[in-house]
Amino acid sequence: MTISLKLLFEEIHKAKDEDSLQSQLAPKIGNYFAAKRSGIFFFDQLLADQKFQAILNVALSLEHNPVARYIAERHTPVHEGLVTIPKTWKLICPRSDHWHVMAGPIIDRGQVVGSVGCTRERSMSAFDTQDLADMSAICLHLSAWTARVRIIRSTTLQPQHQSFSSNRLTPRELQIANLVALGRTNAQIGSELWITENSVKQALKRMFRKLKVSSRAEMIAQLSATKHHLSSLELVNKHQ
């Protein structure tokens, strides 16, 4: 069965934890990209496992691996054909099932905290620009999910009278935030709200300053966490 990007996005936001992303979502991402292998990796988990240390020293080496270096520097997906030639890539990664590799970052508060990747064998077609565009969308949703979950984990329920992040945004800014969460570009947001693309850019800058975030994914995550807090408080109040 062919899976769509929309279904992948829904799967991401329904996930309960990293384990479910890795065991249930990663194979579906592999299916979507017709990959031989696929995986979702969170670096803090891998670094805590001693048996992965030697592998990570090579796989995540910015000096050794041009794919990892590209992601670390640009925070955007890449495939091996953009950063090296087949002969060199074979020396870097000699595995036959990793002849073609595409990977993208999972971002939390401006830091690369994980990655999602797919590989294909030599006999299979190389990843292309459309694959990169689709991987970029998947990474945005994974980053938003990760930031939201980690914010929820690191905070406790706040008093009901305390001001929440969403209260600092104007109704228009909340409209923009909702459209960002739906994956709209600045141009699309401007068209839907009848304002210029530059007005959207300036509004996002103000919103980032208000919320003390540095990316669209982090903003979405913080607002999602706020909604979670409010829903939890309403549930508590009903039982008091």
Domains along the sequence of the chain with CATH:
5-153 (3.30.450.40), 159-238 (1.10.10.10)
Q: What pLDDT, on the 0 to 100 scale, is given for residue 210?
A: 85
Q: Which two tokens stand for residue 167?
A: 């209260």
The helix (H) or strand (E) run that includes residue 36 is none
Per-residue pLDDT of the chain (240 residues; tens, 9 = 90+): 578 999 999 999 999 888 889 999 999 999 999 999 999 998 887 766 665 555 555 566 667 789 989 998 999 999 999 999 998 988 888 888 899 999 999 998 888 999 999 999 999 999 999 999 999 999 999 999 998 888 777 654 444 433 444 457 888 888 898 888 888 899 999 998 899 999 999 999 998 888 888 888 888 877 776 654 444 434 434 433
User: d(Cα 91, Cα 84) in Å, to the nearest integer?
Assistant: 11
